[in-house]
Structure formats: structure tokens, C-alpha cells
Chain A
């Protein structure tokens, strides 16, 4: 239901406080198919978060347009930092964007439990570790049942075991309720594991350097050997070249 068509003629951050003006995007375009899972890879400081902000409509200060195939899609955005309301409990943070119904509450509690936060529902976010806060932010994004899910490096600052569990959970949630996903990451293994399309960005100004379809089966994705083989073959990466 939600394909996204992105055309950025120009996106520039003006000079401020001694920093020179930065031209991040010029004549950039990207088509995202409905119910696709696109992983965006690219070096730090390139403009990936900026891209998600443009798509989400938080940043409207650019030339170009972002069009959705449906009116006003519901957007779930797991920001690069958790952005929770510190004065509301974990559960309240997850339920606030939802309609006030018993179903919302059940869904929120269910998600929190699945994320291993069942005990933390009534805790204030600042008393949680950063990794736990990130999971709350993820639960908030999922609970909305979004048409478009934007995720900005959602699994950093989690330990490997937890991150793996959450990757599995993410795959499962999306299998259960398909949605369009744009997923920024620095971790190409994670990208291959989850996405059906890898878009490697380079620049500035940002351009698409590589655009690869991930052709692994769900079983192959859970096998580290297969994932590595695919990375090497498609991205031209030697083992361990990029974390």
C-alpha cells in the first residue's frame, strides 16, 4: 500500500556558527517499492538520517518531493536516538501514539514482552539502559502498525545476542504484518540478514553507488556463512572489510 518515491533536487544545510554550508543532496532519486525492505548503507555523516527526516516530513526545507502511494501513510520512525518522553512510563511512551483502546494496550504490552521489557512497563525511561530505551523506541514504532517503518541504526548499543533476537523479532513482525521498511545501518551483515534490497550510498552529494537485490531465502538468511558469501559476492567486500 505504501510505495515511496523520493526526488531531491537539492538539500543544503546553510552555513552556521563557522561551519560552511553543506550540500548533501543534488538530483538524488530513489524509488521504494510497496512492502519492500530496503537497507541504506553509507559512511557516517553522509546524510542518511537527513534522508529519513525528509521522508518522514520532519525536515521540509529542501527542493524536491517525497510522494507516497497512499494518502497520509502512518509512519513509524525509530530515530537514531530513542527520543522517549522521560516523564512518561515505558508503557505510556508506547501507547501515547495509539488510539486509546484496550486493543492498543494489549498490543503494546505484547510487544514490550516480546522485546524483553515485560517487567519494565511501569518504569521511567531514564532508569533504563540505553539499549533498553532503544527497544522501547522500537516497540513504539511497531505498535503503531505503520504503513512505512523508518529505522535509523536501530540495533546499535545492543549486545550481539539481544540484537540478534531483535533482528529475528523484526523479521517475524514484518512477516506477520508486511509493511514498507527503510532501514539505515552500518552493518552489512545485518542488512543482508533482513533486507530484500541493499542501497549503498556514497558522496557527497549523495548518490546511489550500489543497488542490489538480496536473493537469499529466509533460511539462508539465518546462516552466517550464506550471509557472508552474499556480502562478498554482491558488495565486493572481503570478509570483515566493513563491520
Chain B
């Protein structure tokens, strides 16, 4: 099966990566480049103290909150920009501005203006992501079919039916694209936000390990979180996308 084949290739490719890493670690032979077993041991240690799970959950909660806000606000904004020429003319320079504002600037300003608290952290991440979502969904809204909108109007679909059966299915690929690139961006930025101004989470843990030059723990956390994000991609986004694309030839 194609899926098994793809899985096989992924496994092979990851295996080669781990092998190269292991060889490099053996050659360098330094605490600063631990070999895979050392990283796994660090992972187990962190897991046993319960710190790993706690920090992962905290970070995941932040990712979920800022991701949800960014998708909601970004989609609404993007659809508005796509449907209204006036709104597009008025607001797209802002979108471009925020799109190009470095994440770090937004984070620092959020902390400075709103204090070192949870809302500021989540807001900072969301603001970083909103322009991306808006730009993607704007493409989707611009491409909405007029033919189908007219059809829905003549057949008196009403607002809810039109949204559910005509508009949202057309936007689904754009939601998926925004969600996918969004997840990757959001979790990276959440770590930075945690590193700069939160007393817990993966980002905070990484900073503590950084100060101790504890590379094994850094890699252990990166590995754990990377796997979670991969699981979300494989277990949530891809199945949803497949279901949404069932109708395609």
C-alpha cells in the first residue's frame, strides 16, 4: 500500500539521520553532542520526575490557545479582506506590516506593554500568526465561486446552509494550509515566549538546560515535543484533510 510505502521511506530516512548523529557523537565524543542513548536516558529521567509531562502540557495548552485565537481571528480577517475590496485596500498594508514584523519584536512589546503574564504570552504568539492565516484565507475568499453563490441564492439555501454546504467546503483547503503552517510556526514561537517570560513550559526548561549546557535534556525536550506535533499532524490534520477531500477525483 502507498501509505505503508511512505511510512517505510520515512522510517528509513529517519534511521539514516539517527545513524549519522550517532557516528558524529562518537567521533566528537563530547558532552555537548550526546549520542542517542544519552538523550533517551535524559528523556526517561525527565519523564520520571513528572516534569516532562507537566511542561509539555503547559506548552501544549499555550500552543492550543494561541493557535485557536490566531485561526479564528486570522480567518475572519482574511475572509473579510477577500470579500470586501474596501477592507482589503484599508487593511492589507497592516497585514503586510505585521507579516514582516520580527516575532521577537512582537513578543518583547507584548511583555513590556501588558506585563510578564499568560495573556501577554498567548497574545504575542497569536499576533505573530494572525497575518499568515489572514493572507491564506484571503486567497480562499477571493476564489469563492460566484456560480455556486448564485445557485445557493436561487435555491434559497439561507445563511446557514450556504455557509455549511457552499462556503466552508471551498475554504477547507485554505484552512488546512493555514493550520499546517500555523502549527509549525506557533509552537516554535511559543517556546521563545516561554524562554523570555514564563516560569514553566518547554521553552523555560530549555533555557534552564541551556544555562547548565545540558544538551541531552535540550535534545530530549525537542524530541518529545517534535513527536507530539508530528502526532497532531498525522492524527488530526491529515485525517481531517482526507475526509474533506473525499469528493475529489
State A53–B149 Cα separation when bound (angstroms): 13
Residue A87 lies at the interface, judged by CB distance under 8 Å to chain B: yes
A87 touches B161 (CB 8 A): no
**Contacts A86-B247, A97-B156, A126-B247: A79 and B151 contacting too (C-beta < 8 A)?**
yes
State A58–B152 Cα separation when bound (angstroms): 10
Q: Which chain B residue has the least Cβ–Cβ distance from A141?
A: B155
Q: Which chain A residue has the least Cβ–Cβ distance from B166?
A: A85
- Shortest distance from the beta carbon of A148 to any chain B beta carbon, whole Å: 11
Contacts of A125 in B (CB 8 A): 247
Residue A75 lies at the interface, judged by CB distance under 8 Å to chain B: yes
A83 touches B247 (CB 8 A): no
If over half of B's interface residues share one DSSP class (helix, strand or loop), that class is named, otherwise mixed; here it is helix
Partner of A56, one of B154, B161, B246: B154
Partner of A58, one of B153, B157, B169: B153
Partner of B246, one of A53, A58, A97, A124: A124
B247 touches A124 (CB 8 A): yes
Residue A169 lies at the interface, judged by CB distance under 8 Å to chain B: no
Residue A127 lies at the interface, judged by CB distance under 8 Å to chain B: yes
Partner of A81, one of B147, B154, B155: B147
A87 touches B155 (CB 8 A): no
Residue B248 lies at the interface, judged by CB distance under 8 Å to chain A: yes
Chain B residues with a Cβ closer than 8 Å to the other chain, count: 18
Contacts of B148 in A (CB 8 A): 83, 85
Q: Which chain B residue has the least Cβ–Cβ distance from A150?
A: B154
State A87–B227 Cα separation when bound (angstroms): 33
A85 touches B246 (CB 8 A): no
State A135–B119 Cα separation when bound (angstroms): 56
A87 touches B154 (CB 8 A): no
State A69–B161 Cα separation when bound (angstroms): 28
B169 touches A87 (CB 8 A): yes
Partner of B154, one of A58, A86, A127: A58
A57 touches B154 (CB 8 A): yes
Residue A144 lies at the interface, judged by CB distance under 8 Å to chain B: yes
State A125–B169 Cα separation when bound (angstroms): 14
**Contacts A126-B249, A127-B249: A58 and B165 contacting too (C-beta < 8 A)?**
no
Residue A189 lies at the interface, judged by CB distance under 8 Å to chain B: no
**Contacts A56-B154, A58-B150, A75-B154: A96 and B247 contacting too (C-beta < 8 A)?**
no
Chain A residues with a Cβ closer than 8 Å to the other chain, count: 21
Contacts of B248 in A (CB 8 A): 86, 124, 126
Residue A77 lies at the interface, judged by CB distance under 8 Å to chain B: yes
Residue A207 lies at the interface, judged by CB distance under 8 Å to chain B: no
A87 touches B150 (CB 8 A): no
- Shortest distance from the beta carbon of A102 to any chain B beta carbon, whole Å: 19
Q: B126-163: which residues lie under 8 A (CB-CB) from chain A? A: 147-148, 150-151, 153-157, 161
State A79–B147 Cα separation when bound (angstroms): 9
- Shortest distance from the beta carbon of A92 to any chain B beta carbon, whole Å: 8
Q: 0/1 per residue, A49-92, Cβ < 8 Å to B?
A: 00001001110000000000000000101010101011110000
A residues contacting B by CB (< 8 A) are 53, 56-58, 75, 77, 79, 81, 83, 85-88, 96-97, 124-127, 140, 144
26 contacts between A and B (CB under 8 A): A56-B154, A57-B153, A57-B154, A58-B150, A58-B154, A77-B154, A79-B147, A81-B147, A83-B147, A83-B148, A85-B165, A85-B166, A85-B169, A86-B248, A87-B169, A87-B247, A88-B247, A96-B157, A96-B161, A97-B156, A97-B157, A124-B248, A125-B247, A126-B248, A126-B249, A140-B155
B residues contacting A by CB (< 8 A) are 147-148, 150-151, 153-157, 161, 165-166, 169, 244, 246-249
Contacts A75-B154, A87-B169, A87-B246 supplied; 17 other A-B pairs, CB < 8 Å: A53-B150, A56-B154, A58-B150, A58-B153, A58-B154, A77-B151, A83-B150, A83-B151, A85-B169, A86-B247, A96-B155, A96-B165, A124-B246, A124-B247, A126-B247, A126-B248, A127-B249
Q: 9 smallest A-B Cβ distances: which pairs?
A: A97-B155, A124-B247, A87-B169, A87-B247, A58-B150, A83-B151, A126-B249, A77-B154, A83-B147
